[in-house]
């Protein structure tokens, strides 16, 4: 992302869901799907898992920012959005803006804002502590008006565009939710990176970051993509466990719901692999509390045990018939 100090805050949202495709995409197919801007290169890699990311897509904004004291803060600029395919299976769309004070209280021509992708300039008088106020207002769960800054809407439109691509067959191997990670980051000079993550209903999570310098601030976006990916995997795993219990009660073979997850998603669990070095320490905190990997491995083991029991039960029934 482009950062030109002084940056009051960076605000963004990541949406994560399963790609509507029966087979995992190869690196080449993932890159083809991510070619959203003609003539712009697509970033991709093969290891540790197949990954491809689209070029930046820019949308112009002229909106207000929510603040705890209902102060009207108007900004004009752009939102930078990107989509990515992870492991040929998972699609993420993300959008963010770096909020900076404008050099003039008069709105500029659009060419000025389009030359700074992902930067929103505050036209109104900037009060002290604007970054903290913007973060608090943005992360507060509320019904926002149509004129309120909403990068999630930009990310959702980009996700819809990708999902409707005719190269996808619209037959995913399992049904999963889409999660939202809404995040805000700001600088407190000299501070060690910290994060406060909160779980909300309707698959919404919020994360509030404080970092010590511009380098760490620039790394937050990539960290949030990585965090959103693994939070989504945990969410899907929990839902599959709940669904397996319902299958058992209805005497329906549980392998129908367990096997697709074990086959298509379990190998993608690699927390921290896509996080920039400046913020990898935040994963140590998440592994200690709430213990992301402990939860993951314990629940995957639970599913494998259930599948093994279901397989043995089915074999015993076959033996009994014979």
Q: Could you report the per-residue pLDDT of 122-160, keeping only the tens digit for each?
A: 998 766 788 999 999 999 866 555 689 999 999 999 999
Report the chain's C-alpha Rg in angstroms. Answer: 22
Q: How far is CA 262 from CA 51, 300, 303, in A?
A: 20, 8, 8
Closest Cα partner for 179 from 200, 163, 193? Answer: 200
d(C-alpha 25, C-alpha 30), whole Å: 6
pLDDT in the model for residue 142: 63
CA angle 177, 182, 187 (to 5 degrees): 155
Place of tokens 């439109």: 157
Give dist(CA 250, CA 302) in Å, integer.
19
175 vs 19: CA distance, rounded Å: 10
pLDDT tens readout for residues 165-182 = 999 999 999 999 999 999
Residue 1, pLDDT above cutoff 60: no
Q: Which residues contact 273 (CB under 8 A, 6 or more apart)?
A: 48, 226
Average pLDDT over the chain, rounded to an integer: 90
pTM of the model: 0.91
Closest Cα partner for 83 from 166, 161, 11?
A: 161
Task: Judge contact between 224 and 94, C-beta under 8 A.
Answer: yes
Q: Which residues pair with 2 in a beta bridge?
A: none
Measured CA to CA, the distance from residue 119 to residue 142 in angstroms comes to 24
Q: Tell me the angle at which helices 292-321 and 214-249 cross, rounded to the nearest 10 degrees.
A: 20
pLDDT of 247-293, one tens digit each? 665 566 777 888 889 999 999 999 999 999 999 999 999 999 889 99
Tokens of 52: 């491809």
Rounded to 5°, the CA angle 203-208-214 comes to 130
Contact (Cβ atoms closer than 8 angstroms) between residue 21 and residue 173: no
Whether 67 has a pLDDT exceeding 80, the answer reads yes
Cα 121 to Cα 304: distance, rounded to the nearest angstrom: 52
**Distance of alpha carbon 25 from alpha carbon 31, whole angstroms:** 9
- Taking CA 188 as the corner, what is the angle to CA 196 and CA 56, rounded to the nearest 5 degrees? 75
| Cβ neighbours of 95 (radius 10 Å) | 28
pLDDT of 2 reads 44
Residue 182 tokens, joined: 């809404």
Residue 301 has which token pair?
Answer: 């083991």
The SS3 call for residue 103 is coil
The pLDDT of residue 45 is: 95
Let me know: does 61 contact 149? Beta carbons within 8 Å. Answer: yes
Q: d(Cα 236, Cα 129) in Å, to the nearest integer?
A: 38
Q: Strand pairing partners for 17?
A: 91
What is residue 144's predicted lDDT score, i.e. its pLDDT?
56
């Amino acid at each position: 992302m482009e950062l030109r100090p002084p940056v009051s805050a960076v605000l963004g949202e990541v949406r994560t869901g399963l790609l509507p495709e029966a087979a995992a995409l190869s690196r080449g197919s993932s890159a083809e799907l991510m070619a959203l801007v003609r003539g712009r290169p697509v970033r991709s890699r093969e290891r540790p898992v197949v990954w491809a990311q689209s070029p930046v897509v820019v949308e112009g904004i002229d909106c207000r920012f929510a603040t705890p004291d209902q102060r009207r803060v108007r900004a004009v600029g752009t939102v930078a959005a990107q989509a990515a395919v992870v492991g040929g299976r998972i699609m993420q769309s993300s959008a963010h803006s770096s909020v900076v004070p404008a050099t003039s209280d008069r709105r500029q021509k659009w060419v000025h804002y389009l030359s700074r992708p992902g930067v929103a300039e505050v036209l109104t008088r900037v009060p002290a502590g604007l970054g903290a106020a913007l973060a608090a207002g943005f992360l507060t769960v509320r019904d926002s008006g149509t004129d309120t800054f909403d990068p999630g809407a930009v990310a959702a439109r980009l996700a819809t565009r990708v999902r409707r691509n005719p190269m996808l067959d619209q037959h995913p191997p399992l049904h999963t939710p889409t999660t939202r990670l809404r995040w805000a980051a700001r600088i407190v000079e000299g501070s060690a990176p910290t994060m406060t993550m909160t779980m909300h209903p309707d698959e919404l999570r919020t994360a509030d970051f404080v970092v010590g310098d511009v380098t760490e601030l620039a790394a937050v976006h990539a960290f949030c993509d990585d965090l959103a990916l693994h939070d989504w995997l945990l969410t899907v795993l929990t839902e599959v466990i709940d669904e397996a219990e319902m299958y058992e009660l209805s005497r329906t073979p549980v392998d129908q719901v367990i096997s697709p997850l074990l086959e298509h998603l379990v190998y993608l669990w690699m927390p921290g692999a896509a996080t920039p070095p400046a913020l990898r320490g935040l994963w140590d905190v998440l592994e200690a509390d709430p213990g992301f990997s402990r939860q993951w491995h314990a629940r995957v083991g639970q599913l494998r045990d259930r599948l093994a029991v279901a397989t043995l039960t089915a074999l015993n029934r076959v033996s009994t018939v014979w």
